[in-house]
Structure 1
Amino acid sequence: MKDIIRLLRLFKPYRHWMLLGALAALVTLIANVVLLAVSGWFITAMAVAGSAGVAMNYFTPAALIRGGSILRTVGRYAERLITHEATLRLLAQLRVWFYSHLEPLAPAVLQRYHSGDLQSRIRADVDALDTLYVRVLVPVLVATLGACLLLGFLLLYDWRIAVVSLGFLLLAGVAVPLWSRALGQAPGERIARTEAELRTACVDGLQGLAELQVYGAAAAQARHIDALSRTLATEQVRLAGYSGINQGAVGLCANLSLWTLLWLAIPLVADGRLAPPQLAMLALFTLASFEAVAPLPLAFQQLGRTLAAARRLFAIVDARPAVEEPAGPSPRPDRFDLHIADLGFSYPGVATPALDGLSLDVPQGGRVAIVGASGSGKTTLFNLLLRFWTPDRGTIRLGGHDLAQYRGDDLRRYVTLVSQHTHLFDLSIRDNLLIAAPDASPARLEQACRVAQIHDFIAGLPEGYDTWAGETGVRLSGGQARRIAIARALLRDAPVLLLDEPTEGLDGETEQALMESLGRLMAGRTVILITHRPVGLDWADQVLVMDQGRVLARGDASVIAGATGAELLGGTG
């Protein structure tokens, strides 16, 4: 119940849309019941009048029938229009809400989750929450209000008929839905879990297809996906079977209510206390009234799946960020030197420290290169400089202020990263550039791309800067994508620049052109570059060689390049 209450609080900004949609559904229900009941009364009354040879006023019931038909059509259209508008607004708000909680968790906390699992939560689990409004809240509200109005009408004729109808409505609208929820809760939760596992497996299969083929595991992955698909289909068939049983139970309640009404009402007709046309009207009225409770069993059956999706989202939202934001405002440094003293850090659950006693001073405008194999702690240092993690010991100071005093977003206005893993969104090249500076003019975009040596290539494309980059920049080469990333970094104009293996995996010609672009980007900035290779670092004021979180050697580029591997391993930090 607490999960439903928590969701209702999230829905609160759109409560007016939600209530308006429920009102449209209630009007549609009443119009449909009135249409059927008046039609039954009118046909029977015309037959009785005709057999008796008497005249009757058929204008009023005909007008009611026509009005009910029009109102039902308009109400159904309004219900669909308003509930869909409310649902789309809710989904948009839920995605923003979820992303606003997701962003502070990156990357430290989100490393516990698979990318396919996160994608499933963002898309499928959020989508699953719309059923709470459309298929649970609206039907429950309409059934409650509609049943009260319908029973009030029956009380005008006979209290026993009203009580019997109430009993069967409660049976169909409360007992059957609760039974349906009990049946559907476990399969619904298994469906939510299996759907997430299936999406994760599909993402694994697509992203790691090359590795799967190299190691001969592609067939095993395909069998795993097939097994998950079969499990999902089995659970869906089980739910469909339960749905059929539940709808049959509602139909049984409606027919039992009808027969009981006839059993009670026929003696009233015989005694003259009820006119024959009113018997037909009450019979059709009773059958039509069960339209109010008919959606409830399916709604409660799917409630288990909806709540399972909600709990998966809440598990992310309730996670604590690895880095706590400071209470006060961020400092505003007037210089951009870096001072790192006795820095130590270990990843959770890992005994070996990723950094152990690192100290480094980089003056404003200074250039430092850090050389080391994978796992030596280079990327960990960047993660700490960007405040993605908090050091276990030691300090990092930017412009004389401890890094812990900076709020994450404020810090990243001063520090920008050019990574070997350049990410371009499925947008135009222009839109990918504007991420760094949304208000940048076309002239400023062009200037940044010229410095990054990518403007001529973009200008030569048929659509120029409006050319679509494709998913993850698939329509561009690696060198082109990284030069766009450099142009994006230029647009940010941050005073501190972190370069994470920006030339990794590029051919010699592209690497040389990219380094020329980086040289322009580094002008006047405080720069730290991490790389595997201690060559081509003449531009660096200082070079550090790292291994297993420690500094093995430091000096200028000529000293490092001339040292042997044994000398480096024997060096001191």
Structure 2
Amino acid sequence: MSGTGGRITGRVVAASLLESVSAVATVATLVVIVEVCRRLLAGPVDRDLVMELAGAAAAVVLAGAIVQFAARALSRRTGAGYRHALRYAIARRIGDGRASTPADWRSYGSTTTPDLALAGTVVGRTIPEAVSNLTVLLLSLGYLFWVDWRMALVSLLPIFLGFLAFGVIVTDFERTMRTDYDALEESIDAARPVVDLHARVHPAGARARTVTEVRATARELAGAVERFSVYFREKVGELLAGRSLAEIAFSPLTALTIILIGGGLMVRAGSLPPADLVPFLVVGVGLSASLLTLTYLAEEFGVGLKANARLRSFTTVSTDTGATPLDMPSRGLVTIDGDPDRAIERVTAASSADRTAAVLFDPSIITGPIGGFIAGDAARAEHAARIAGVHDRIMSFPRGYDSEGGEDVSLSPWESRRIALARAVAGDAEVVLIDGRVLGHDASVLRAVVDETESRAVVVCVAPPPAFADERAVRLDLESAAGAEYEEAAR
């Protein structure tokens, strides 16, 4: 994904720059309007100048809207492109048959869809919008401090109070959780049935005493769990209450109230011209909204980063397995007796990823056109599909080889496995590693694969040994030293 990653990064930067330009246009328009109001309140103003400023503001608004539309369109395209790149990386991760792929996919596959959505959202929307809101916040603050630094500090007061309230509650939450939480958890661990040896082996009344002990322990455990549940609900409630207080402090109504009170006192004291209160009533009230949006985006960014890290850890596999390479033949058919999952993991753990094309029993994720998934050349894709015995099924799809998996057609497990087999046949890997369950009892497909890949090795992992492995096959035992046994069998 290195090349794709560079393109995605460039698009994110471009979308963020466009959002920044749109934010500058928005703040500039607001400043022009506010300055016109200040001039009108301060005294007579040249009408022609006002009309010119109004025209300039309208032009800036239009330009900003166009730029923002372009930024949002690019952001959506970037998010979709990043999700597609991750799907392709997952498909390759599963398709290349690296060690423990089936087990990894079974434990992680159910969270793939939400993780893809979160990762795409962060790249396509969260980052550009965060840049936009940060630009608005900084420009607005700069303008307010330019008008009057004292009122600017008053405008920041609700933000300070919100952070202070939330910080105090979070600090108390973490402090109590370090002590009370551990104590309650220990009480749950301690509530377990303890039946002494005499009660377990004494012939008279042992069962009744055991039942009594277990019941008493169960009551104690239920009480400990209930105490833990009540405590946890209370602490989470306090944390949510702190967040609610912070959101109230960040709200435009709170900011408007504080600005009116502070500005009114300063106007009454003669330290602030009445006209200078307008920027704070218009721009200052919006500071809290921008900051609140930034906090939400920061949370979204954190969740998205975790999702992206999970996707990256799944799609990125070290090629340094530390295993001794197996002495695989350069051509011919090899069958490995034993559990197919263990056999595949053993072979792939000791083989380089670029040397082996694995066809697993777990259905492959097929994205994009099916023909393109199998091979870049249409004729080669059809030839490989015929060998895998799936050509007729593909031709029954709405658009044949141009049908997209998951979009035009929902592939069955059998179809996805055979399409993965066709992909391995059409590729140029030195070893084609096949889970024997993919073939079922279709000996003709195996022979067609071996004939097609006569210059390469075909390794079939299956239990019990296949009845269709003819005299050309070399059989290996999974529990033995595969390389040495192959050399002995080959003699």
TM bucket by the smaller chain?
A: 0.5 to 0.7
Q: Cα RMSD over matched residues?
A: 5.0
C-alpha contact 1:39 1:65 (8 A) present in aligned 2:
no
Deviation at 1:21, TM superposition (A): 2.3
* Deviation per residue, 1:359-391 (Å, 9 max, x gap): 97654334322222467x42233222434xxxx
Question: In 1, Cα distance between the equivalents of 2:24 and 2:164?
Answer: 22
Question: In 1, Cα distance between the equivalents of 2:438 and 2:245?
Answer: 58
Tell me whether 467-476 or 493-502 shows the greater mean CA deviation: 467-476
Q: Which residue of 1 aligns with 2:381?
A: 445
Compared CA separation, residues 235 and 31, structure 1 to 2 (3 A) = farther
1:59 paired with 2:48, answer yes
- SS of 2:117's partner is helix
Question: In 2, Cα distance between the equivalents of 1:132 and 1:468?
Answer: 29
* Deviation per residue, 1:306-338 (Å, 9 max, x gap): 335435645776899554399xxxxxxxxxxxx
Q: Which residue of 2 aligns with 1:142?
A: 136
Q: Which residue of 2 aligns with 1:216?
A: none
C-alpha contact 1:426 1:472 (8 A) present in aligned 2:
no
**Selected match of 2:302 from 303, 307, 316:** 307
* Deviation per residue, 1:212-271 (Å, 9 max, x gap): xxxxxxxxxxxxxxxxxxx9x9999879845751343x53333332343344335759xx
1:72 paired with 2:37, answer no
* Structure 1 residues 397-546: aligned runs within 5 Å: 408=353, 411-412=354-355, 415-434=356-375, 438=376, 440=377, 442-459=378-395, 463-470=399-406, 474-476=410-412, 478=414, 480-503=415-438, 506=440, 511-534=442-465, 535-546=467-478
Q: Which residue of 1 aligns with 2:254?
A: 252
Q: Which residue of 2 aligns with 1:380?
A: 345
Deviation at 1:67, TM superposition (A): 3.4
Q: Which residue of 2 aligns with 1:364?
A: 330
- SS of 2:320's partner is coil
Compared CA separation, residues 466 and 239, structure 1 to 2 (3 A) = farther
Residue type at the aligned position of 1:530: C
**Greater length-normalized contact order (CA 8 Å, ≥ 6 residues apart):** 2
Deviation at 1:123, TM superposition (A): 3.0
Deviation at 1:492, TM superposition (A): 1.0
**Selected match of 1:165 from 132, 151, 157:** 151
Question: In 1, Cα distance between the equivalents of 2:255 and 2:38?
Answer: 21
Deviation at 1:544, TM superposition (A): 2.9
* Structure 1 residues 268-279: aligned runs within 5 Å: 279=274
Deviation at 1:500, TM superposition (A): 1.8
Compared CA separation, residues 173 and 526, structure 1 to 2 (3 A) = same
Question: In 2, Cα distance between the equivalents of 1:16 and 1:454?
Answer: 44
Deviation at 1:28, TM superposition (A): 1.0
C-alpha contact 2:25 2:64 (8 A) present in aligned 1:
yes
Question: In 2, Cα distance between the equivalents of 1:246 and 1:174?
Answer: 9
Q: Which residue of 2 aligns with 1:24?
A: 22
C-alpha contact 1:486 1:521 (8 A) present in aligned 2:
no
C-alpha contact 2:165 2:246 (8 A) present in aligned 1:
no
Report how many residues are paired.
Answer: 412
C-alpha contact 1:367 1:540 (8 A) present in aligned 2:
yes
Question: In 2, Cα distance between the equivalents of 1:265 and 1:84?
Answer: 46
Compared CA separation, residues 21 and 186, structure 1 to 2 (3 A) = farther
Q: Which residue of 1 aligns with 2:145?
A: 151
C-alpha contact 1:425 1:469 (8 A) present in aligned 2:
yes
C-alpha contact 2:87 2:367 (8 A) present in aligned 1:
no
* Structure 1 residues 197-208: aligned runs within 5 Å: none
* Deviation per residue, 1:14-71 (Å, 9 max, x gap): 546534422421331231243145246548868xxxxxxxxx7433224423433443
- The runs of 5 or more residues in structure 1 that have no matched partner are 1-9, 47-55, 155-161, 188-230, 327-342, 345-358, 388-407, 560-573
C-alpha contact 2:99 2:349 (8 A) present in aligned 1:
no
**Selected match of 2:267 from 265, 271, 282:** 265
- SS of 1:537's partner is coil
C-alpha contact 2:369 2:404 (8 A) present in aligned 1:
yes
- SS of 1:386's partner is coil
**Selected match of 1:324 from 297, 311, 320:** 320
Question: In 1, Cα distance between the equivalents of 2:413 and 2:80?
Answer: 36
Runs (4+) of structure 1 moved beyond 6 Å? 10-13, 97-102, 181-187, 233-240
C-alpha contact 2:23 2:136 (8 A) present in aligned 1:
yes
Q: Which structure has greater helix proportion? A: 2
Question: In 1, Cα distance between the equivalents of 2:145 and 2:431?
Answer: 73
C-alpha contact 1:177 1:298 (8 A) present in aligned 2:
no
Deviation at 1:166, TM superposition (A): 1.8
**Selected match of 2:104 from 111, 114, 123:** 111
* Deviation per residue, 1:330-364 (Å, 9 max, x gap): xxxxxxxxxxxxx88xxxxxxxxxxxxxx976543
Question: In 2, Cα distance between the equivalents of 1:182 and 1:77?
Answer: 43
Question: In 2, Cα distance between the equivalents of 1:178 and 1:16?
Answer: 36
- SS of 2:287's partner is coil
C-alpha contact 2:359 2:434 (8 A) present in aligned 1:
yes
C-alpha contact 2:335 2:475 (8 A) present in aligned 1:
yes
- The runs of 5 or more residues in structure 2 that have no matched partner are 1-7, 174-232
Q: Give the TM-score taking structure 1 as reference length.
A: 0.57
1:297 paired with 2:297, answer no
- SS of 1:290's partner is helix
* Deviation per residue, 1:263-294 (Å, 9 max, x gap): 4335759xxxx9xxx73x43322211215513
Question: In 1, Cα distance between the equivalents of 2:481 and 2:408?
Answer: 35
Question: In 2, Cα distance between the equivalents of 1:468 and 1:318?
Answer: 27
1:124 paired with 2:123, answer no
Q: Which structure has greater strand proportion? A: 1
Compared CA separation, residues 237 and 267, structure 1 to 2 (3 A) = closer
* Structure 1 residues 91-106: aligned runs within 5 Å: none
C-alpha contact 1:173 1:297 (8 A) present in aligned 2:
no
Q: Which residue of 2 aligns with 1:401?
A: none
Residue type at the aligned position of 2:298: L
Residue type at the aligned position of 2:445: L
Deviation at 1:116, TM superposition (A): 2.9
C-alpha contact 1:367 1:526 (8 A) present in aligned 2:
yes
